[in-house]
Structure 1
Amino acid sequence: MYPHRSTPPTAVLVHGAFADTSIWAGVGHLLHSAGVTVRTPAVPLRGLAQDAAHVRAVVRDIDGPVVLVGHDYSGAVISQASVGTDHVVALCYVAGFGLDDGECVLDVMDRFAPAPVAAAGFTAAAPAFGELRLNDEEFARLYAAGLPPEQVAALSAAQRPIARAALADRSGPPAWAAQPCWYAVTSADRIVHPTAQRFMAQRMAATEHLVDASHAVARSHPSAVATMIQEAAGQRE
């Protein structure tokens, strides 16, 4: 079905805004246990072009096929990072932004009924650099609803701030227009409206996996996310 199928794909798990690589801990463990090689690069969250270039360099350093997985803002990142590569065999979006050419994250958020994050309590992590993070209360309520308090506290403390300007960076032609795509739609999401997620999934003709989860689905439902990635990697029907 895919090129390079002589060797199993490597899953590259790319975290989004208000997170770090620890968001993938459970998913990565399940994939490793299933024999899937996993990479979880730290994303600078400075801007779409810079972040995509960073992930593209990781992909090009891998010998063999790659399944790129993007959560949240990094859905837009993987859509750009796989442009110009010849061994990304599938794209997986986990409540991610599958932007079209000329679109930005704020365009999608503004197009649909506002998600609660529109009124969230942001903290200026570094005002001089225009960086944003969610404050602890709003992180628990919006991003990680349903997780145990100790996990919420750890995830909130580990947040990587995102440059405010990154949310307005416009996408180039997206790789999803020419590559097989999967999309985990999180029906209880308070960050990216579920209607927006379904719109993006249908626009890219993605295979949809509906999960009753908050935005932190990779931590609350790692098995569902890992199953989708394995399917994209050709390990499951």
Structure 2
Amino acid sequence: MYNKQSIRRRIALVAVGVAALALTATNTLAAQNEPRQPKPTVVLVHGAFADASTWNGVIDRLQRDGYPVIAPANPLRGIASDATYLASVVKTIPGPVVLAGHSYGGAVIGQAAAGLPNVKSLVFVDAFALDVGEPAGSIGERFPNNLLGPALITRPYALPGGQTGTDVYVQPSRFREVIGADVPEHAIALAAAAQRPVDQSAFVEPPTAAAWKTIPSWFVIGRQDKAIDPAGLRFMAKRAHGRTTEIDASHLGLISHAGTVADVIERAAR
């Protein structure tokens, strides 16, 4: 038999238990209803002799994982003008941004990100991470183990006022050997035919900013890169104190190893 005091004690304990369960349920419901922070926008910048389609495999993976992605056309007219254009795109994006650049695109993001507070991380994929006053061509001279120089051809083009500029292409017959030896032949043949040229000045124009000095940076390096010497890529990554991932890939590791590249970008985004 329970006395009245014992019954009251049991009732009180039950009441406390019910209150605790209700509080737990309330907190759980509040946590579920709490708005999640949106994922940062990933901006992908292609390099020379290419267009934004080189990022297609990476874009597919990032979008499936819920990341908003923009892959603007890089004008390929020179670091200053290309970086100014890219910065104008990034300024229109609300919230945090991850900037990723491939090849020459790395030189562009390294300058464009300077002074943009919403850029939280940089990703260089077989890319130039240049210092202030250091043109891309100087990296090729310092680390000459590449096939790019002898494979280039030039074509003049008209500028306003009667002046002439010079566009640079990779010889289609050497495109696979130099740019993407691990990409299927039919795909690389299409890429060679559709390549977008870069103005010759892009190789000699020195950047005026190096955002990797203040923004956390990640690097993907293809060990079989024949367009930029892997030793040069390692030098730039080490100088930037970057988090580095090496892959057995050509200069087009963003195509042949799109999953790995996407993983690195998502690590930078987190």
Name the TM tier (shorter chain): over 0.9
Matches within 5 A, 1:13-162: 13-124=44-155, 126=157, 128-162=164-198
Q: Alpha-carbon deviations, 1:39-94, whole Å to 9, x = none?
A: 00001100111000111011101011000000101111001111111100000000
Q: Per the alignment, do residues 125 and 210 of structure 1 end up closer, same or farther by CA in structure 2, a change over 3 Å counting?
A: farther
Q: Per the alignment, do residues 134 and 125 of structure 1 end up closer, same or farther by CA in structure 2, a change over 3 Å counting?
A: farther
Structure 1 gaps, min length 5: none
SS in 2 for 1:8: coil
Q: Is the 8 A contact 1:133 1:160 kept in 2?
A: yes
Between 1:165-174 and 1:175-184, the stretch displaced more is 165-174
User: Distance in 2 between the 1:222 and 1:99 partners?
Assistant: 24
Q: What RMSD, in angstroms, separates the aligned Cα atoms of the two structures? A: 1.4
Match of 2:234 in 1: 198
| Larger relative helix fraction | 2
User: Distance in 2 between the 1:227 and 1:52 partners?
Assistant: 25
SS in 1 for 2:201: helix
Q: Which letter does structure 2 place at the counterpart of 1:113? A: P
Q: Alpha-carbon deviations, 1:20-43, whole Å to 9, x = none?
A: 011001000010011111100001
Q: TM-score by structure 1 length?
A: 0.94
Q: Which letter does structure 1 place at the counterpart of 2:82? A: D
Q: Alpha-carbon deviations, 1:165-210, whole Å to 9, x = none?
A: 1111101131100010000011000000000000000000000010
Q: Alpha-carbon deviations, 1:95-123, whole Å to 9, x = none?
A: 11000111000011101133111221424
Match of 2:259 in 1: 223
Q: Is the 8 A contact 2:154 2:166 kept in 1?
A: no
Count of residues in correspondence between the two structures: 230
SS in 2 for 1:129: strand
- Cα drift, residue 146 of structure 1: 1.5
Q: Is the 8 A contact 2:147 2:226 kept in 1?
A: yes
Q: Is the 8 A contact 1:10 1:39 kept in 2?
A: yes
User: Distance in 2 between the 1:130 and 1:113 partners?
Assistant: 23
Q: TM-score by structure 2 length?
A: 0.82
Match of 2:201 in 1: 165
User: Distance in 2 between the 1:159 and 1:64 partners?
Assistant: 33
Q: Is the 8 A contact 2:152 2:168 kept in 1?
A: no
Larger RCO (CA under 8 A, 6+ residues apart):
1
User: Distance in 2 between the 1:131 and 1:173 partners?
Assistant: 25
- Cα drift, residue 159 of structure 1: 1.0
The match for 1:177 among 199, 213, 220 is 213
Larger Rg: 2
Q: Calculate percent identity across the aligned residue pairs.
A: 39
User: Distance in 2 between the 1:50 and 1:38 partners?
Assistant: 22
